């Protein structure tokens, strides 16, 4: 079956794998001329969608002189076989690359594009597989624990359940199980998935990745898979696209570091984007990259190899030189009223911590997660109202005497213990503009502690989302500390008798005690080699 629209021809094509499974693809290319360099996307959501939630339609790419191949991965869309998730993709990617290169419409040159799952399928293949000419992984990572499902020892809750249920619904659709599909869909529409999601996954997709991840312990590294691209692939031209409010940003930075360590020269662009909402110029950025590396068309005007969007100044910055941004630190101080009086908690640059404060976490009214990279509505947000809660401790700096650039990854070292064998630390870093009564959240991070160690006073390390933000003279910086971030992560019950998740009658009130003498906020620059990426 084929069709032609606006000078672009579209047809179906099939690849039979060595085990007999047939993978289906849709191909787009100009109606005349050829052969052309190929752009390949391998995805699990249906080739007709072709990731148009973030990318231009394949007809646009084809109109610029490319053969576009969008393939349904094994067990999804129109392809045969059983869907096993990431583990199935290495062998299938290897076979698909060889097949695409020999298509009559392909001139032998091959680039890959796609984000999220489609980003990972660009990177997994047998070690001996010839590398593509270029890749453009976006919003993705290699570690199924740290880059796909967990942070700080806690499972991503609404993200993990929501994505897992989407995949489960696709499987129900393939089986023709309308009842299961509707049950899953309704749970997402009325938010019941936040409570019922685990049971739905176990019932409707017990062999799926999301249910497997939820059954794995984030604290046990050996239970998790880390994928390893062939070294030669990491050495080829690579354009990495990330967003400050994307949950996979740490995974993308890990790829950046891995490529550099392998001898590659990856291009890194982190912009004002969440997982599904990108900045408009990304299409032209990708097109220019493909034209240069697949069509031998250098850009008319050289573009920055790497750039970081400044969250507060709303412009692009270069990645700072190694000696341009040093490590920074702040001490936390309180006379015990940091949860009640916004003037009590202090954040002192280059100062020592002092005093302490107690935070009472009531699971009946857990502190909500707003904005950021794990919130239900990701992105920048004013957390003024959340910081007014009496179960949120705030520590605010004095007005800055000069502009301050925050470039890198914040790390909070906090001496904390609880009166129950389990607690969470949910941290936000914010800017208080000098000219407004707002609290502009810049970065968030979480840490989960379970078991008897929660009862012992100890320094806890909480890693926050990397950022690039400039504070103006007169602005103030704030750290906010809570014991919940619902539903970004499940609520900690305060003991091991029930799993973390939606609040229940088995969840306990937890009192956190923070001793601030040894507590500091640090900032590790992008260029320091100390980013916490694993």
More confident residue, 257 or 532: 257
The confidence band for 157, taking pLDDT boundaries of 50, 70 and 90, is very high
Closest C-alpha to 375, from 162, 120, 141: 162
| Alpha-carbon span 63 to 56, nearest angstrom | 11
Q: What is the mean pLDDT of the chain?
A: 95
What would the pLDDT profile of 216-237 be if each residue is shown by its tens digit? 999 999 999 999 999 999 999 9
**CATH topology classification for 2-147+225-305:** Rossmann fold (3.40.50)
Predicted confidence at residue 237, as pLDDT, reads 98
What would the pLDDT profile of 371-384 be if each residue is shown by its tens digit? 999 999 999 999 99
Q: Write phi, then psi, for 526 (nearest 5 degrees).
A: -55, -35
Predicted confidence at residue 155, as pLDDT, reads 98
Predicted confidence at residue 534, as pLDDT, reads 64
CB 478 within 8 A of CB 435: no
The confidence band for 304, taking pLDDT boundaries of 50, 70 and 90, is confident
- Average pLDDT over every residue of 119-130: 95
The confidence band for 126, taking pLDDT boundaries of 50, 70 and 90, is very high
CB 238 within 8 A of CB 136: yes
Predicted confidence at residue 1, as pLDDT, reads 54
| Alpha-carbon span 30 to 53, nearest angstrom | 23
CATH architecture of 328-528: Sandwich (2.60)
| Alpha-carbon span 429 to 476, nearest angstrom | 11
| Alpha-carbon span 338 to 359, nearest angstrom | 9
| Alpha-carbon span 247 to 260, nearest angstrom | 22
The confidence band for 327, taking pLDDT boundaries of 50, 70 and 90, is confident
Predicted confidence at residue 532, as pLDDT, reads 67
| Alpha-carbon span 272 to 373, nearest angstrom | 11
In sequence order, what are the residues at sequence separation of 6 or more whose Cβ sits closer than 8 angstroms to the Cβ of residue 137?
A: 114, 115, 119, 120, 122, 123, 238, 240, 241, 252, 255
| Alpha-carbon span 285 to 302, nearest angstrom | 11
Look up the pTM and report it: 0.96
- Average pLDDT over every residue of 263-282: 97
Q: Write phi, then psi, for 67 (nearest 5 degrees).
A: -90, 120
Predicted confidence at residue 34, as pLDDT, reads 87
* Structure tokens that stand for 429 in this block: 């870093």
| Alpha-carbon span 431 to 439, nearest angstrom | 6
Residue 238 has pLDDT above 80, yes or no: yes
* Structure tokens that stand for 377 in this block: 């509505």
Residue 529 has pLDDT above 70, yes or no: no
The confidence band for 363, taking pLDDT boundaries of 50, 70 and 90, is very high
| Alpha-carbon span 10 to 187, nearest angstrom | 37
* Structure tokens that stand for 20 in this block: 């007999």
| Alpha-carbon span 328 to 186, nearest angstrom | 48
Q: How far is CA 153 from the centre of its chain?
A: 15
What would the pLDDT profile of 475-516 be if each residue is shown by its tens digit? 999 999 999 999 999 999 999 999 999 999 999 999 999 999
- Could you tell me which residues are beta bridge partners of residue 243? 271
What is the percentage of the chain residues whose pLDDT exceeds 90?
A: 93
The domain limits of the chain are 2-147+225-305, 154-217, 328-528
The confidence band for 31, taking pLDDT boundaries of 50, 70 and 90, is very high
Which of 8-17, 183-192, 281-290, 326-335 is least confident? 326-335
Instruction: Judge whether 2-147+225-305 and 328-528 match in fold.
Output: no
What would the pLDDT profile of 440-470 be if each residue is shown by its tens digit? 999 999 999 999 999 999 999 999 999 999 9
In sequence order, what are the residues at sequence separation of 6 or more whose Cβ sits closer than 8 angstroms to the Cβ of residue 337?
A: 344, 345, 357
Q: How many CA atoms lie within 13 A of 174 on its CB side?
A: 22
CA distances from 356 to 344, 346, 395 (A): 11, 11, 11
* Structure tokens that stand for 275 in this block: 């997982």
- Concatenate the DSSP letters of all residues of 235-297 into one string: HS-BEEEEEEE-TTHHHHHHHHHHHHHTT---EEEEEEEESS---TTHHHHHHHHHHHHHS--
Predicted confidence at residue 322, as pLDDT, reads 66
């Amino acid at each position: 079956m084929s069709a032609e629209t606006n000078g672009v021809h579209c047809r179906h094509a099939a690849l039979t794998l060595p085990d007999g499974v047939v993978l289906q693809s849709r191909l787009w290319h100009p109606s005349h001329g050829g052969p052309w360099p190929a752009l390949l996307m391998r995805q699990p959501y249906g080739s007709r969608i072709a990731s148009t939630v973030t990318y231009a339609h394949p007809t646009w790419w084809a109109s610029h002189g490319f053969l576009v191949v969008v393939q349904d991965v094994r067990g999804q869309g129109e392809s045969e076989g059983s869907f096993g998730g990431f583990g199935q993709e290495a062998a299938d990617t290897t076979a698909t690359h060889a097949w695409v290169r020999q298509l009559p419409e392909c001139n032998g040159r091959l680039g890959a594009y796609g984000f999220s799952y489609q980003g990972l399928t660009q990177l997994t293949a047998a070690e001996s597989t010839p590398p593509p000419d270029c890749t453009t992984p976006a919003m993705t990572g290699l570690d199924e624990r740290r880059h796909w499902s967990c942070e700080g020892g806690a499972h991503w809750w609404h993200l993990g359940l929501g994505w897992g249920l989407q995949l489960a619904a696709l499987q129900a659709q393939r089986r023709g199980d309308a009842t299961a599909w509707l049950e899953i869909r309704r749970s997402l529409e009325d938010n019941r998935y936040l409570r019922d999601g685990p049971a739905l996954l176990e019932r409707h997709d017990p062999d799926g990745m999301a249910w497997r991840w939820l059954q794995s312990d984030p604290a046990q590294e050996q239970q998790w898979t880390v994928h390893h691209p062939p070294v030669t692939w990491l050495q080829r031209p690579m354009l990495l696209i990330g967003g400050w409010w994307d949950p996979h940003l740490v995974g993308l930075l890990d790829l950046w570091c891995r490529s550099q360590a392998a001898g590659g020269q990856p291009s890194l662009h982190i912009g004002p984007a969440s997982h599904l909402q990108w900045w408009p110029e990304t299409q032209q950025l990708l097109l220019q990259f493909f034209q240069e590396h697949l069509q031998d068309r250098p850009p008319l005007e050289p573009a920055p190899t790497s750039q970081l969007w400044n969250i507060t100044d709303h412009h692009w910055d270069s990645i700072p030189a190694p000696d341009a941004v040093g490590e920074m630190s702040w001490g936390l101080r309180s006379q015990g009223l940091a949860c009640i009086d916004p003037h009590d908690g202090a954040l002192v640059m280059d100062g020592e911590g002092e005093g302490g404060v107690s935070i009472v976490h009531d699971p009946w009214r857990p502190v909500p997660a707003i904005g950021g990279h794990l919130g239900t509505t990701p992105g920048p947000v004013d957390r003024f109202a959340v910081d007014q809660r009496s179960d949120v401790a705030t520590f605010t700096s004095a007005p800055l005497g000069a502009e301050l650039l925050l470039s890198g990854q914040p790390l909070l070292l906090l001496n904390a213990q609880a009166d129950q064998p389990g607690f969470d630390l949910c941290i936000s870093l914010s800017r208080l503009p000098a000219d407004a009564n707002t609290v502009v959240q810049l970065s968030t991070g979480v840490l989960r502690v379970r078991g008897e160690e929660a009862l012992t006073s100890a320094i806890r390390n909480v890693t926050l989302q990397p950022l690039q933000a400039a504070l103006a003279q007169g602005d103030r910086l704030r750290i906010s500390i809570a014991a919940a971030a619902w539903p970004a992560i499940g609520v900690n019950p305060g003991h091991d008798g029930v799993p973390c998740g939606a609040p229940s009658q088995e969840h306990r009130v937890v009192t956190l005690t923070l001793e601030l003498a040894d507590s500091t906020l640090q900032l590790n620059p992008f260029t320091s080699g100390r980013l916490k990426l694993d």
